[in-house]
Amino acid sequence: AQKVTQAQTEISVVEKEDVTLDCVYETRDTTYYLFWYKQPPSGELVFLIRRNSFDEQNEISGRYSWNFQKSTSSFNFTITASQVVDSAVYFCALSEVTGNQFYFGTGTSLTVIP
């Protein structure tokens, strides 16, 4: 079974639209961490955010916001007023500290059309 599922393979939006990227995870650990990374066309992955399993507060950073819900095992990422520079592949990831493993989802390719 997939540890991290990103059901949306590709999304296209028109500039200035809001878009939400879904991430569902599976773990039996009580202590774990969730991450989002961005991989722009240039190729290098860039860290966006980290959340630990004990902190369900939502976070906002500029046009980016994250919604962590343990009840549904989801960690969704919303971009408000999307811009062309947001075009990239976005990866959700899970680390299981006890199991010493790190899992990435298969990524969601976002295209923002000007």
The span from the CA of 114 to the CA of 102, in Å, is 35
Complex with another protein: residue 77 or 91, whichever CB lies closer? 91
In whole angstroms, how close is the CB of 38 to another protein at the nearest point? 11
Binding site for another protein (CB under 8 A): 4, 33, 35, 37, 43-47, 50, 52, 91, 93, 95-97, 100-107
In whole angstroms, how close is the CB of 45 to another protein at the nearest point? 4
In whole angstroms, how close is the CB of 17 to another protein at the nearest point? 25
Q: Classify each residue of 73-90 as buried b or exposed e, where b means 16 or more C-beta atoms within 10 Å of its C-beta.
A: ebbbbbbeebeeebbbbb
Both structure tokens of 110: 């976002």
The vertex-95 CA angle with 92 and 101, nearest 5°, equals 120
In whole angstroms, how close is the CB of 77 to another protein at the nearest point? 15
Complex with another protein: residue 14 or 25, whichever CB lies closer? 25
Nearest partner of 48 among 34, 27, 68, judged by Cα? 34
